[in-house]
């Protein structure tokens, strides 16, 4: 039973985190279209969306993140430990109980994402919306 709780909480937590990001970014992205966009805005928008769809969507999410989360959910189901279950969203994303090298990479990636988020918040529209659309 503990394994099932861990899997539901882990998967639910990861889905909620990703869904929250999409819901939060949607209004900012749509605000970019409230003003007329020049041709170079459209080129940047299309180029950045295609780049992010491939690099983050396909290579990052589909080939790396999702299989890792699924493998850790299976491990959590097979070998539930109370602290892993309590913190299962973080466990599934690889923040602990993982090889040291990968854990360091995940922490550095997280800090990089936070830095990018803070930098993008300083941009004016439509550039912020273009970046957030990606």
Please, where are the H alpha helices in 32-99? 39-52, 66-78, 82-86, 88-93
Q: What is the pTM of this model?
A: 0.81
Predicted confidence at residue 1, as pLDDT, reads 86
C-alpha R_g of the chain? 18
Predicted confidence at residue 40, as pLDDT, reads 92
**CB of 122 within 8 A of CB of 40?**
no
List, for residues 22-40, the tens digit of each pLDDT value: 999 999 899 989 989 899 9
**CB of 76 within 8 A of CB of 88?**
yes
CA 10 to chain centre: 15
**CB of 28 within 8 A of CB of 132?**
yes
């Amino acid at each position: 039973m503990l394994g099932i709780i861990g899997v539901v909480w882990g998967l639910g937590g990861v889905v909620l985190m990703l869904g929250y990001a999409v819901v939060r970014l949607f209004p900012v992205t749509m605000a970019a279209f409230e003003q007329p966009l020049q041709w170079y805005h459209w080129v940047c928008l299309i180029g950045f969306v295609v780049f992010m769809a491939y690099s983050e969507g396909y290579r990052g999410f589909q080939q790396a993140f999702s299989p890792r989360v699924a493998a850790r959910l299976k491990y959590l189901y097979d070998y539930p430990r109370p602290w892993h279950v309590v913190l299962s969203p973080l466990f599934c994303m690889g923040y602990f109980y993982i090889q040291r090298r990968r854990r360091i990479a995940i922490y550095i990636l997280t800090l990089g994402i936070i830095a990018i988020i803070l930098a993008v918040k300083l941009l004016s529209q439509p550039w912020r919306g273009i970046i957030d659309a990606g």
